[in-house]
Structure 1
């Protein structure tokens, strides 16, 4: 049956009711069903992302436990009680002082360069260090450097592999007086 035959058999009033009913049904779908369907799709995608994140976290649980155990085995670093200033006459011996920190750990100090243009009003001077050696020994060097009284802060540590091995570059600030 074609639309023309349906139109001829049904009275115009019934056709009008059917058209109005179709418009109401279409409007209802456009106003309520379609937005909810789209929101359902968004929530389904978000749920899938959260499930993936949860699965990654479940896989990382053994790694986190290992890291927690390793953290308990690390030596405790205590804070310095008093801040000492490095005498100005000792700045020239800074290479020997830093080498004294690195040599017992079998690290090779390749550069110690205090930057005179970095001196602040508070008496701080930036010192750049370059150290060659193994990472475990370098970590011990950083702990020893942290116990060095004139040290106020370590600004940056950068590492890269050179032709002589792993090289570490440290920029730190010392209190000079």
Structure 2
């Protein structure tokens, strides 16, 4: 049956009712179903993204546990001291003072260079320390240095591989009076 035969067989009122019904059905699909399908697609994409993140977290879980375990074994450093001062007369003895801190730990100081031009109004003096030693001994030395009373802050730390092994350089600020 062709469209012309259907028009001839059905009254005009029925055709109008069918056209109105088809328009209502298309309107219903356009207003209610299409937005719902788009929402479903969006939510499906979000679920896929979240599943990916969850899979990544599952893979990283052993690493996070190992880091937490390692963190629990690390000695707490605490705050840097800065509670006492070095008298200006003792600045010439800084090499001896730092040697006394480093020697029991197996660290060898190669130079202690106070920078007289760096003295601030607050009574701070920049000192550059250069030393050699094994990594674990250097770590213990730095922890000991952190408890050294006149130390206010460590500005920079660098390391290079020199002739005698790994060489470390610290620029730190000491409180002087």
TM-score by length of 2: 0.76
Matches within 5 A, 1:44-63: 44-63=48-67
SS of 2:100's partner is helix
Pairs aligned (count): 170
- Across the aligned residues of Structure 1 and Structure 2, the Cα RMSD in angstroms comes to 3.0
Q: Measured at CA, do residues 45 and 167 of structure 1 come closer, stay the same or move farther in structure 2, by a change above 3 Å?
A: same
1:9 aligns with 2:13: no
> What SS does the aligned partner of 1:114 have?
strand
Q: Is the 8 A contact 2:159 2:168 kept in 1?
A: yes
Partner of 1:22: 26
Instruction: Give the match for residue 90 of structure 1.
Output: 90
Give the Å deviation of 1:134: 0.7
Query: Larger relative contact order (C-alpha < 8 A, sep ≥ 6)?
Result: 2
Asked if the contact 2:127–2:172 (Cα under 8 Å) also holds between the matched residues in 1, the reply is yes
Indicate the residue corresponding to 1:125 in structure 2: 125
Distance 1:97 1:107 in 2: 13
Mapped to 1, the partners of 2:29 and 2:84 lie a distance apart of 83
Bigger Rg, structure 1 or 2: 2
Is the alpha carbon distance of 1:60 and 1:143 closer, same or farther for their aligned partners in structure 2, counting shifts above 3 Å? Answer: closer
Distance 2:81 2:171 in 1: 23
Q: 1:22 to 1:55 in 2, by over 3 A?
A: same
Taking structure 1 as the reference length, what is the TM-score of the superposition?
0.76
| 1:131 counterpart SS class | strand
Contact kept, 8 Å, 1:132 with 1:165, in 2: the verdict is yes
User: What's the offset of the Cα at 1:138?
Assistant: 0.7
Supply the distance in 2 between the matched residues of 1:31 and 1:148 (Cα, whole angstroms): 68
Separation in 2 of the partners of 1:105 and 1:165?
17
Q: How does 1:126-145 map to 2 (within 5 A)?
A: 126-145=126-145
How big is the shift at 1:92?
Answer: 2.1
Within 5 A, what are the aligned runs for 1:72-87?
74=75, 83-87=83-87
Looking at structure 2, the residues matched to 52 and 124 of structure 1 have their Cα atoms a distance apart, in angstroms, of: 48
Cα pair 1:7 1:15 within 8 Å, conserved: no
